[in-house]
Amino acid sequence: MNETMTAAFLPGNSTVELRTVPVPVPGHGEVLLRVKASTICGSDIRCIYHEHLGKGPEGYQGVIAGHEPCGQIVATGEGCRRFENGDRVIVYHISGCGVCNDCRRGYMISCTSEKYRRAYGWQRDGGMAEYMVAEEKDLIALPDELSYADGAQVACGFGTVYEGLEKIGISGNHAVLITGLGPVGLAAGALCRKLGANKIIGIDVVPERMKIAVDLGLCDAVLASGSNNAAQVRELTGGFGVERAVDCSAHPAARAAAIRATRKWGKIVFIGEGGTVEINPSPDMIHDQKTLYGSWVTSTWLMEELVERLIRWKLHPADIISHRFSLQRAGEAYALMASGKCGKVAVCADEELA
């Protein structure tokens, strides 16, 4: 193994800087991964790529980018208890203190320790590199039935969606509306399909993403974003509206449409980050007995459950990856993801790039 490696950094001016840095050495309870696939999240674009906007948990501290990594262990530090060289693993993208109430529940995303909570690719080095160090406690086993690109999708996007869908519950009794058909919305369509949703309706403004949703069979109907979306959804559901709605857009009009297109006693979950929403609480929510959930990433135990379900369902999250790039072309990868004219974008190595 070489002593140095290539790594990608985001200076905040819509560019990517490739630098040569030392290959890290795993410490106690840590492993060194050969990164095989690292996908790009919309939050990377929103809070880091164009401009460093994030604060607190979303504050970028000039580290190696990428919080959706998956790879193979090539070295272990002292004190590792479960994983060993050669193991294939997904990295849960927040490393928490491990001892606060949220960490003990498996929700390191909500770790309350300002000192020890560090997200990969935000406050500690992430996966846009040839190698990365991760804490063993943050790893999820990747079975042979799934590819490294599948695993990278689980690390954030599919895991985040699965959490939100588990909160509202999806079954064959439900018509589902998904507002926003970016990678998270596409993941929602794929998971709702496997969970048995009776009808899946998608809304977006980008033709390329609407086409992907149709071509992959993730939605039964796709609507162009507009002021009459709620009425269109009711028309597609016998005049009632959907039983479940999932907002992945963070757009105020889309969020309002998701709420208003949901029928009486229905449930809505907001997954898309940022933005605002304006509703009239009594007619839009209270009088129709609707329930609105917020959902942020997921837990380690639910991520492990998702991996098991993906194998059972024969569902491959990598199917929504529309473009793959080598690390040397990371600049092109981020620019494409920022354009929105794509599905998921992945930076890959070795067999995942072949």
Question: Does residue 258 carry a pLDDT above 90?
Answer: yes
As given in the structure block, the two tokens for residue 162 are 């699965």
Q: How far is CA 80 from the centre of its chain?
A: 27
* pLDDT score at 56: 82
* pLDDT score at 257: 98
Alpha helix (H) residue ranges in the chain: 42-44, 101-104, 148-153, 159-168, 183-194, 207-215, 229-236, 252-260, 281, 300-313, 330-339
Confidence of residue 1 (pLDDT cuts 50, 70, 90): confident
φ/ψ of 256, rounded to 5, equals -65, -40
CB 86 within 8 A of CB 25: no
311-349 pLDDT, tens digit per residue, is 999 999 999 999 999 999 999 999 999 999 999 999 999
Q: Which of 150, 185, 151, 156 is nearest to 94 (CA)?
A: 156
Of 51-65, 88-102, 130-144, the range with the lowest mean pLDDT is 51-65
Q: Which of 132, 102, 133 is nearest to 117 (CA)?
A: 102
Of 18-27, 57-66, 301-310, the range with the lowest mean pLDDT is 57-66
153-189 pLDDT, tens digit per residue, is 999 999 999 999 999 999 999 999 999 999 999 999 9
CB 203 within 8 A of CB 222: yes
* pLDDT score at 335: 98
115-153 pLDDT, tens digit per residue, is 999 999 999 999 999 999 999 999 999 999 999 999 999
Confidence of residue 194 (pLDDT cuts 50, 70, 90): very high
Helices and strands: H and E segment counts in the chain:
11, 17
As given in the structure block, the two tokens for residue 138 are 């943050």
CA–CA distance, 223 with 225 (Å, rounded to integer): 6
Burial of 114 (0-12, 13-18, 19+ CB in 10 A): exposed
CA–CA distance, 37 with 76 (Å, rounded to integer): 20
| CA torsion through residues 91, 94, 100, 102, sign | negative
CA–CA distance, 95 with 109 (Å, rounded to integer): 8
140, amino acid identity: I
Average pLDDT rounded to a whole number, residues 43-64: 92
Q: Tell me the CA distances in angstroms from 246 to 50, 157, 163, 167, one per residue in order.
A: 27, 14, 12, 11
As given in the structure block, the two tokens for residue 264 are 């009486």
Question: Does residue 55 carry a pLDDT above 90?
Answer: no
CB 346 within 8 A of CB 323: yes
Q: Tell me the CA distances in angstroms from 354 to 39, 40, 329, 350, one per residue in order.
A: 16, 19, 15, 7
* pLDDT score at 287: 98
Average pLDDT rounded to a whole number, residues 89-110: 98
CB 350 within 8 A of CB 327: no
* pLDDT score at 54: 79
* pLDDT score at 216: 98
Of 29-33, 34-38, 58-62, 190-194, the range with the lowest mean pLDDT is 58-62
Ordered by where they begin, the domains of the chain are 4-147+316-352 (3.90.180.10), 159-294 (3.40.50.720)
Q: Tell me the CA distances in angstroms from 329 to 169, 264, 334, one per residue in order.
A: 40, 49, 9
Query: How large a percentage of the chain has pLDDT more than 90?
Result: 98
Average pLDDT for the chain:
97
